Structure formats: C-alpha cells, structure tokens
Structure 1
C-alpha cells in the first residue's frame, strides 16, 4: 500500500495559516484597542456602535450649542444689569429734580447728567459679543441696531427675531432678546394709562397719583378732565360728560371709568388733563421726556411731567428686570440640559466601550496562547516534512 504525505502536509499548512490569521487579528486588536477591526467580524455590534457614535456626536453638538448660547446670555444679563443701574440713577435724578427746593441751576445739572446717562444706555443697547455680533439686534446681528438722528431721536435698525438654539432632544432656547423688545417697547405710565397736562394750563395743579381703582373696569379709553369754575367734569373720547362735580378740593380723589386720579395744587378754570390708554415707548424717549420736563419753567407742568417720567422709569426698570428673569431662566435651562447631555454621553461611552474596546488582559493571554500553539504547530510541521517513507514504516 502506498503511503502519501501530501494530504497531511496540506492539512498542516492550512491549520498554521488559520492560526497565523487568528494571531494577526489579536495583534491588530491590541494595537488599535478595538475589539473588531473589520465590520464582518460582528456586523451587529459594529452597526450598533455606529448608531451610538451618531447619538454621541449629536449630544456633543447640543452641548456646544448650549455653551455658545450661555456665553451670549451671560453677556446679555450683564448688559441688562448695567441698563438697570442706569435707569435707577435716572430715577434718582428725577426725584431730585422734582424737589420743590431744586433751583434752575440744579435742574440744569441734573438734565446734563441725564443726557450723559442716555448716551451710556445707548452704548449698552449696542453691546456686542466676543465675535463682534450685536446682542440686541435680533437675527440681524451683524449691523448696528441703534442709532441716533441729528435731531436726537434714537431708532432701532434690527429686527424682532430670536435665534432658537437646540440644546437637547426636543429642547431649545432663545440665545438673546431683540432690542425692540428690550429697549423700544416699555409700557408707559402705570402700565394701563398715562395722564398728561395740557401745555396751556394756567393753574398750579400737578398730577399726584393716577392708578387703576382695582375694579378692573378700565377699558383702554381716552378721557379728559376739565376744571370748570370751582369744579370739574370728565369727558369721554366723544366729548360726552361721564362725571361732573360742582366743587373740587385739591388733593381729593377723582374716580371714573375704573381709574383713580388726584392732583395737588389748585387748578385754574379751563385747565385740562388728558388720560390716554397704554402706549409703549422706548427707554430713550422716557429719558428725553424727563429732560424736557426738567427744563419747564412752570412748576405745575414740570411736576406733572416729572411724575410721568418717574412712572415711566419705574415701568422701564420693571420691564428690564422681567427680561432679566427670562434670561436667567434660559441660562438655568441650558445648565440643566447640559447636565442631562453629559450624563447621556457617559452612558453611551460606557456602552461603546463594551461593544468596541478590547479587553487587554484577555487579549494578551489569548495572544500568548495563540503564539505558543502556532510555534508548536510549526515545529511539528518541520519534523514531519523531513521524514521519509522508511521513517513511517519503522
């Protein structure tokens, strides 16, 4: 019988090639730190890892978006804080100017400081972020939002848009507020109406108080309060008398249509005060109105003008603080979302590590075993290759 070694040799070669392949694969895993170096080794695990990579990338984008938005909102909060300080100082100056002992010189000095504060407020409204984008320009943040005309009127050149930034799955925040909303739309007076004196008034009546009477009956109408003889009458927009009194005592309260108004000083016959519904105005107009009131020589006119200026500045301060509150809420939302995203990143990273990262201790042990097995196979093959037929017949 003929004994053939061809099959034995080929089988040994095939086995060594397989062992070499396994050894090379283990070496590649150790070198790369990856459990699978080719998708074909475990298609399911590789596909899952790819999906998790995509989610991880999205979480990173959410966190980057949040960081950028938080930076802008922090700058906005600082600008609003400065604006609030300026408005508070304006309020203090109006109170000083409304003091009966304030001289014309003192009022002139106050008006000068008010103008300087208005310029400072304009600079705040034109504040920029670290990239040179304007904080209060809306979506048109490449151009200067506020400018002053030759006549001193401040106008807004931005838009009313808000950039919504995605900070998480289904979560977004506005990274700023438009200058129109912040500086150009301040409620006037007490938030419902404002009382102004007719420039032609001759008496000494000055507005003391103008507030809703608590009934909620005021319905955005215009009224005129006319002092006639020793009394007064209240007329609606059509000129119809809605209330009248034959006598008026200075300081007494006049109530009509859901409002309560009182005056100090004695009015002259024919003096008129108009009550107009809410209108919104800019903080710059408020400052300008205060300066104009300070320049009035007539004490009664000046007192009414400064009363309205004081109410307007109070409304502006409340308006700015309200916006600051929304900014703070958005900053808190970003921080909470970032914490959630960070936790998700850690969980996904652990999952990816389990799918992708090689167990170094196990792989080193496997490499040693594979190398030993291959060396033994190679040694055995070398011995078999050198044998003759007579060696097999012994």
Structure 2
C-alpha cells in the first residue's frame, strides 16, 4: 500500500493534536481541582452534580431563613421578658394600693407609677423588629398594632401570625400577634369576679372559689344581679347560654339580713353557691347592681391586659370618699390582681413557646449542617479531582505528547532524496 507524504503529515498532526488535547484536559483538571471541568467529561456525573448543587443551594437558603427567624424570635422573647417584668411591677403596685392605710393622695401617687408601667407595656406592644415592621401586628405589620383612642388602647392588627419556612418540611411562626399576648389567658385560667363600675351600692366580693367541678353548671358564666328596694333587696343568679342571660332557680330570692352586710369579720360574709362556685359578699347592694362571675377570657368577659391596667388606674386616680367608691376601689383592685396573674401566666406561656421555637431552630440548624456536609461530600465524589491520579495522568500525557512530537520530527526529516 502506498503511503504518501501528505498522509504521514496528516496522521502525525492528528496524533499531536489528540495528545495535546488530552494533555490540556488534564492540565485544566489540575488547575481547577475538578475532574469534571466540562459536562462532556462525564455527562452522568455532571447531571447529578447539578441536582446536588441545587439541593445544597436550597439548604443554604433555608439556613439564611433560619437566621432571620432566629432574630425575630429572639426579639419577641426579649420583649415578652420586659412585659412580664412590667406585669410583676404592676401587681406589686396594686398590692401596695390595696392597703387601707393609704390616703387618696398616696393612691394617686401609685396611679402615677402605674401609668408609667402602662406606657411601658404599650411601647413594648408596639415594638419593631429593626426593619420597621411591628412584631405583634400579625400580617398588618406596617402600622402600630395598638393605638390610643381616648383613654383606651385599641388593637389595630389582625389575628394572623407571620410565618417563615425554615426547612423544607417546617413552616414556623416567627412572631406573635397582640391578641395572643395582651388579650388572652392560659387554658388553666379559672373564674374571675367583676363588679359593674356603675354599681351604686357598697357590696364587695371575695372569690370566686371552686367548690365542685362536677356540677352540671360548672363551666358557664354567671351574673349576680340585685333588685327589690334598698330596704328589702333581692338577688338573682343568671347564667349565660351563649346568647342571652337566663335566670336560674336562684331568682328573686330575698337577701338574708344579718351581720354579713356590715361586719368586717370574713366569717360573717354571705356565701352564694351556684354552678360549682362560691362567692362571698359583704356590704349593702342597691337595686341594679351587678357582679359577673365568668371564666377568664370567656365569652362574657374577654381578657385584655390594657383594660385591666386602665381600670386600676381609674379607681386609684379618683378619691374614694363614699362607701360605694370604696367598694368600687376594693372590687376593681381584687379583679385587676386576678387578671394580672392570668396575664402573667399567659405571657410566660407565650414566651416559653418562643423559646421552644428557638431551641427547635438549633436542632434544624444541626440537621441542615449535616445535610450540607453530605451534599458537599457527594459533589466531591462526583466532580472533584484525585490529584495523585491526575498527576500520574499528566506525566503520561506529557510523555505521549513529547513522543508524538519527536515522531513527527523524525518523519518530517525522512525523504527519498536523502538516499540519492
């Protein structure tokens, strides 16, 4: 077979180009530290690497989301700590104000301190997360959740809770709304008695006490109303049926006479028992007076920390000169202290929930870190370079390239005219 000089040149050039291409590919692998520099180097590994890399990127994005969620929860927990301290301070002031040795001026001074605590609570309720968003407004986080309307703080947010996806399978609440903090009570909260501030008599109450949780009427809300005449008062116990107040079998009963109305000895108080509850009364009611005995945070008596503070400030600021005003002071302070206890329990419960979510984020972070390490190991197995093998391959390709170049030089110098 005849082999022309052109054929030898073409084959030698093709061999050098092939050797040089292989040598360049190994050089690129060593320079980049990757076995798969181009998808064509290993299409299957390159395809799998793209999927793994995307999953790693998503995991890293969830990590960034957890940082944001942790900041919001940490701020929430810090604010709730301040709120619980404020409630404790308010309760201390109310205990102080309950002393009979205080004058009207002394109680007005306590009211001034209580106002400061109230404004502190209001400021904490309108706290922001540092980015201008209000923590406790729900989805309506661009406006202050609580706004003063007259002497009352009114909630302007919604009942939703902002959530953030911190992992593929976890959508976590990262804040609370104002209702869950300032207008709720824990599930363990019991009954609270409250006298109508429009009462004109001087009847006061203590309790309520639970006497029988198995009573058929236990769990309902009740109202003790007084009627008749001032000289011959009667009372009725009404139960709330979900829509209206309906009378019970204790309706229109005459109030017994005796020392319970005037004697300061608690043993002489009139004890009313209904619905598995017991309430002790002292003093003289006037027709139209009412005392509600309801579950805290129930249908007839919604929980509201700010309303509790406002009522306490009201009675402390006004002089208690008449018997009716003194009864209003005593009843309101008793009710307010019970409400503050329930509010404190509720705030501590919400704070514990925020702390539990912070702990959960730590666990999810640990799982996410392990997942990221697994993805990095998988990527390394797919595309990273084995330097020992690559250096050996580099030396081999270098020898092959040099050999092809030397062969081309030898072939190039071969000519029949050299032998003529």
Q: TM-score, normalised by structure 2?
A: 0.84
1:78 and 1:67 map into 2 onto residues whose CA distance is 16
Q: CA deviation at 1:99?
A: 1.1
Instruction: Give the superposed CA RMSD.
Output: 2.8
Q: SS state of the match for residue 250, structure 2?
A: strand
Q: Which moved more, 1:251-260 or 1:50-59?
A: 251-260
Output one character per residue of 1:55-102: Cα deviation in whole Å (capped at 9) or x when no partner. 111101111111101101100111011011111101111111111112
1:219 and 1:180 map into 2 onto residues whose CA distance is 23
Q: SS state of the match for residue 362, structure 2?
A: helix
CA contact (8 A) 2:184 2:343 kept: no
The answer on 1:41 being equivalent to 2:79 is: no
- Correspondence for 1:161: 160
Cα distance 1:269–1:135, how it changes in 2: closer, same or farther (>3 A)? Answer: closer
1:146 and 1:234 map into 2 onto residues whose CA distance is 38
CA contact (8 A) 1:227 1:267 kept: no
1:147 and 1:70 map into 2 onto residues whose CA distance is 28
- Correspondence for 1:288: 310
CA contact (8 A) 2:182 2:305 kept: yes
Output one character per residue of 1:90-118: Cα deviation in whole Å (capped at 9) or x when no partner. 11111111111122111110011111111
The answer on 1:251 being equivalent to 2:273 is: no
- Correspondence for 1:212: 210
1:126 and 1:392 map into 2 onto residues whose CA distance is 104
1:29 and 1:52 map into 2 onto residues whose CA distance is 20
Q: CA deviation at 1:166?
A: 0.9
2:78 and 2:357 map into 1 onto residues whose CA distance is 14
Q: SS state of the match for residue 224, structure 2?
A: strand
Cα distance 1:388–1:239, how it changes in 2: closer, same or farther (>3 A)? Answer: closer
2:2 and 2:313 map into 1 onto residues whose CA distance is 122
Q: CA deviation at 1:206?
A: 2.5
- Correspondence for 2:242: none
Q: CA deviation at 1:334?
A: 1.5
1:215 and 1:158 map into 2 onto residues whose CA distance is 37
CA contact (8 A) 1:84 1:320 kept: yes
Ranges in structure 1 where 5+ consecutive residues have no aligned partner: none
CA contact (8 A) 2:192 2:335 kept: no
1:266 and 1:89 map into 2 onto residues whose CA distance is 31
The answer on 1:54 being equivalent to 2:54 is: yes
- Correspondence for 1:235: 237
- Correspondence for 1:359: 386
Cα distance 1:120–1:262, how it changes in 2: closer, same or farther (>3 A)? Answer: same
CA contact (8 A) 1:198 1:273 kept: no
- Correspondence for 2:173: 174
Q: Which moved more, 1:218-227 or 1:353-362?
A: 218-227
Match of 2:354 among 327, 331, 334: 327
Q: CA deviation at 1:223?
A: 2.4
2:179 and 2:221 map into 1 onto residues whose CA distance is 26
1:166 and 1:369 map into 2 onto residues whose CA distance is 52
1:68 and 1:189 map into 2 onto residues whose CA distance is 33
1:193 and 1:346 map into 2 onto residues whose CA distance is 56
Q: Which moved more, 1:251-260 or 1:26-35?
A: 251-260
Cα distance 1:98–1:5, how it changes in 2: closer, same or farther (>3 A)? Answer: same
Ranges in structure 2 where 5+ consecutive residues have no aligned partner: 239-244, 261-267
Q: How many residue pairs are counted as aligned between the two chains? A: 390
Cα distance 1:318–1:62, how it changes in 2: closer, same or farther (>3 A)? Answer: same
1:266 and 1:285 map into 2 onto residues whose CA distance is 26
Q: CA deviation at 1:185?
A: 3.9
1:55 and 1:189 map into 2 onto residues whose CA distance is 45
CA contact (8 A) 1:189 1:308 kept: no
1:214 and 1:329 map into 2 onto residues whose CA distance is 35
- Correspondence for 2:265: none
Cα distance 1:382–1:21, how it changes in 2: closer, same or farther (>3 A)? Answer: same
